[in-house]
Amino acid sequence: MTALQTRDYPQLTLRAATANDLMTPNPISISENATLHEALALLTDRGIKATPVIDDAGRPVGVLSTTDLMIHDREEVEHLRLAPEFYQRADLELQSGEMLGRGFQVERVDYTRVRDMMTPAVFSVAPDTPAERVIAELVNLKVHRVFVVDDVGVLVGVISALDVLRRLIPGDARRNH
């Protein structure tokens, strides 16, 4: 026998009956039409690793993660033009006729949309799905999160592995109720 086989582990009880009990309601999401720059700002500012991508009707169409953004950045090859040693007056004039001031900078703008970089897989459950089935889906699909959608497919929540862990309590929950 190994140490794992002889050691007594405390029982953990799940304090949730349905997906509705497990989910984080009204999750932070992003439009499929947003730019990757906007997505990066959202993920960074909110301190999250991934977000549901929704269409104009609020239905989930995919997931965008920091990994998706890193892959895009790695695959994006940029060849910079050599900067001239001096600029002609015409080089410093915008199409509007306005002149650029001293110390100007030119930013490369990436027009890639979230829909072009997201993972287009959507794993979803209804709010009344039994909690045990939700956990089985997370494990069987080998995913970190599933979406909770209403009867017309609109995103109403998200369930992550961390949400499941938060609902685990030590001991026999029946004794505590």
Cα three-residue angle 169-172-175, rounded to 5 degrees: 115
**Bridge partners of residue 13, in order along the sequence:** 169
Residue 36 in any domain: the answer is yes
Residue 3 in any domain: the answer is no
Give which of 136, 168, 164, 162 is closest to 12, Cα–Cα. Answer: 168
Q: Which domain holds residue 169?
A: 13-176
Higher-scoring residue by pLDDT: 92, 40:
40
Residue 142 in any domain: the answer is yes
Residue 1 in any domain: the answer is no
Tell me: pLDDT of 166 over 90: yes
Task: Write down the pLDDT at residue 108.
Answer: 65
Q: Would you list the DSSP string of 110-176? A: ---BHHHHSB----EE-TTSBHHHHHHHHHHHT-SEEEEE-TTS-EEEEEEHHHHHHTEEES-GGGG
pLDDT per residue over 78-128, tens digit each?
555 555 556 666 666 777 877 666 666 666 677 889 999 999 999 999 999
Banded model confidence at residue 2, pLDDT cuts 50, 70, 90: low
Task: Write down the pLDDT at residue 138.
Answer: 96
Domain count, the chain: 1
Burial class (CB in 10 A: 0-12, 13-18, 19+), 167: middle
Residue 2 in any domain: the answer is no
Residue 18 in any domain: the answer is yes
Structure tokens at 54: 């929704």
Q: Could you tell me the pTM of the whole model?
A: 0.72
Task: Write down the pLDDT at residue 116.
Answer: 93
pLDDT per residue over 136-150, tens digit each?
999 999 999 999 999
47 backbone φψ class: left, alpha, beta (φ>0; ψ -120 to 50): left
Compute the distance between CA of residue 65 and CA of residue 70 in angstroms, rounded to an integer: 9
Tell me: pLDDT of 35 over 60: yes
Residue 87 in any domain: the answer is yes
Task: Write down the pLDDT at residue 53.
Answer: 97
Are 22 and 16 contacting, i.e. CB atoms less than 8 angstroms apart?
yes
Give which of 27, 58, 34, 65 is closest to 144, Cα–Cα. Answer: 65
CATH code for the domain in which residue 147 is found: 3.10.580.10
Q: Which residue has the tokens 């269409």?
A: 55
Residue 8 in any domain: the answer is no
